[in-house]
Chains A and B, each alone.
Chain A
Amino acid sequence: MSDHELRVSKIRDGTVLDHLPGGSSLHVLALLGIDGSEGTGVSVAMNVPSDRMGAKDVVKVEERELSQAEVDVLSLIAPRATVNIVEEYEVREKKRVERPESVTGVLACPNSNCITNDEEPVETRFDVLDDGVRCDYCETIIREGIADHLDVS
């Protein structure tokens, strides 16, 4: 997309998340714990036309540099995401999401009888499979709709 087509302006410092699946950006923000309460700028463009993806979402988060671990968690719902770290309006670093071996405290187990859904002092932990995730406690596998199980505030 050329500059004159930009739907939201360039950011000076922060992180640009591109190639998010169309309509996923609110889940992405929830996953990253970004709700605007910090007072820094957050721009969201949803269902932007994309040659590669048909429609994509783009999120620009000002004054925040995402870590590789945060980026990797994104792989659960946005496996083709690209992450640009911006400094002084220039892309300083490009990151690709990589699937982590496991994710902790990010997803709620859909099995209501899982011990993680009881009143116990334990965080959920899921092993990441090629095509889904698996609860480390009750072994329930989630393949479809992983974003529906996000448990982040």
Chain B
Amino acid sequence: MRQDHLVAAGQLSRADVERVLDRAAEFDAALDGGGPLPARYPETVLALCFYEPSTRTKMSFETAMKRLGGDVVDMGGVDASSVKKGESLADTVRVVEGYADGLVLRHPREGAARMASEFVDVPVVNAGDGAGQHPSQTLLDLYSIREAAGLDDLTIGIIGDLKYGRTVHSLATALTEFDAHMHFVSPESLRLPRSVRFDLHEAGAQVREHTELDEVLPELDVLYVTRIQRERFPDEDEYRKVAGEFQIDAETLEAARDDLTVMHPLPRVDEIDPEIDGTDHANYFEQAHNGVPVRMALLDLLLSNDE
């Protein structure tokens, strides 16, 4: 991979993804006590600019950079920074560029990371731009799928908030590189946005859309569950109409194959009953743990000037 920035999953070819995942496996093995890290970045500083709340993404990027021997500078919450004084994103990233060797950005507006990448020379990673994209989550999702079910001949169901769910947009785009059979399950009002459907169509992807999970559940290798993105709804009434629409519990999964892998980018609200957590289906906590080795691999490939 020779990418200056990672702002959208559509930038990544299959070879790019496989390179990150292979490298992540090396870091994963090293972190498990399997020997020295394959690369280290002492004296490297990564800037974390999170304009929206985050637990997993922010902490796993921070952990990844520190495990690589480097350090992080954190803008802190929006309230604690000059953003509160009305500073533009373009100005903020140009200032932060002077402090760090790379920049991880989460922002409530779609296209924020792409714009930021046009103002700085250090690598920018999109850690979520509104209801747009979340490509580093996709890399760890793909890593988790490869570990649990394999990426070849994959049949995946993606359920929940497909309209506002940025992890879905990035994952669906990336899965076109692997010829996956994709089933999208959502209420009509939360179906995939036109731009993602356009990309899937252009890529010749094998896609079907459903409003009921039971239409497709028995076929699935992986069920990727997402939260209804309450914070992105224009009004609370619209949210209430679809809240709690899909809840996966043990009874739901009776119709599934025994080897079905259930994933979720987390946080969950009530989409997956905790009774699933202890079953062989549950992969979401493992998925979250994979954030560290995968982000180490991503940082390695962005920070090294490897052609």
Q: Which residue of B lies closest to A122 (CB)?
A: B115
Which single member of B86, B89, B90, B110 contacts A138 (CB below 8 Å)?
A: B110
Contact B115 A140 (CB under 8 A): no
CB-contacts of B104-125 with A (<8 A): 107-112, 114-115, 118
- For the complex of A and B, 4 pairs with smallest distance between CB atoms: A137-B111, A138-B110, A115-B111, A138-B111
Q: Is A114 an interface position by the 8 A CB rule?
A: yes
Docked pose: A138 CA to B129 CA in angstroms: 9
CA distance A135 to B194 in the complex (A): 12
Query: How many Å lie between the Cα of A120 and that of B8 in the bound state?
Result: 20
The distance from the CB of B195 to the nearest CB of chain A, in whole angstroms, is 4
**Set A122, A139, A141: member contacting B110, Cβ < 8 A:** A139
B285 in the interface, Cβ–Cβ < 8 Å?
A: no
Contact indicator B195/A141 (Cβ below 8 Å): yes
Chain B residue at smallest Cβ distance from A124: B111
Report yes or no: A113 in contact with B88, Cβ–Cβ below 8 A. no
**B169 to A, closest residue via Cβ:** A139
In chain B, positions 74-121 with a C-beta closer than 8 Å to chain A are 86, 88-90, 107-112, 114-115, 118
List 19 A–B pairs whose Cβ atoms lie within 8 Å, in order of A's numbering. A113-B130, A114-B110, A115-B109, A115-B115, A115-B129, A117-B109, A118-B89, A119-B88, A120-B89, A120-B90, A121-B88, A121-B90, A134-B195, A137-B115, A138-B110, A138-B130, A138-B132, A139-B195, A141-B198
Residues from chain B with Cβ under 8 Å of A116 in the complex: 111, 115
**Could you say which residues of chain A place their CB within 8 Å of the CB of B129?**
115, 138
A111 partner residues in chain B, CB cutoff 8 A: 110
How close is B91's CB to chain A, nearest CB, in angstroms? 8
Contact present for A136 and B195 (CB under 8 Å):
no
Known: A115-B115, A137-B114. A122 touches B90 (CB 8 A): yes
A105 CB to nearest chain B CB (Å): 14
Docked Cα-Cα span, A79 to B296, in Å, equals: 49
B-chain residues with CB within 8 Å of residue A117 when the two chains form the complex: 109
Interface size class of A (residues with CB under 8 A): 10 to 19
Q: What is the bound-complex CA distance between A135 and B8, given in angstroms?
A: 14
> Looking across the interface, which residue of chain B has its beta carbon closest to that of A129?
B198
A119 to B112: give the CA distance in the assembly, Å: 12
Scoring B109, B112, B198 by chain A CB atoms within 10 A of each residue's CB, the highest score goes to B109
For B198, the chain A residues whose CB sits under 8 A away are 134, 141
A95 shortest CB reach to chain B, Å: 30
- Residues from chain A with Cβ under 8 Å of B194 in the complex: 140-141
Closest CB in chain B relative to A119 CB, distance in Å: 6
Query: Given that A113-B108, A141-B195 are contacting pairs, would A120 and B130 also be in contact in the complex, using a CB cutoff of 8 Å?
Result: no
Asked if A113 contacts B90 (CB within 8 A), the reply is: no
Assuming A119-B88, A120-B90, is B109 touching A113 (CB within 8 A)? yes
Known: A113-B130, A113-B131, A140-B195. A135 touches B111 (CB 8 A): yes
Contacts of A122 in B (CB 8 A): 90, 115, 118
Q: How far is the CA of A122 from the CA of B113 in the complex (A)?
A: 13
With a cutoff of 8 Å between Cβ atoms, the chain A residues found around residue B8 in the complex are: 139
A115-B109, A138-B130, A138-B132 known; 20 other A-B pairs, CB under 8 Å?
A: A113-B110, A114-B109, A115-B110, A115-B114, A115-B115, A118-B89, A118-B109, A120-B90, A121-B88, A121-B90, A134-B198, A137-B110, A137-B111, A137-B115, A138-B109, A138-B129, A139-B8, A139-B110, A140-B195, A141-B194
Q: Which residue of A lies closest to B86 (CB)?
A: A119
> A136–B114 contact, CB under 8 A?
yes
Nearest chain-A residue to B8 (Cβ)?
A: A139
Given the complex of chains A and B, what is the CA–CA distance between A139 and B8 in angstroms? 10
User: Who on chain B is nearest to A143 by CB?
Assistant: B194
Q: How far, in Å, is A149 (CB) from chain B's closest CB?
A: 15
In this complex, which of B89, B112, B115, B195 has the most chain A Cβ atoms within 10 angstroms of its Cβ?
B115
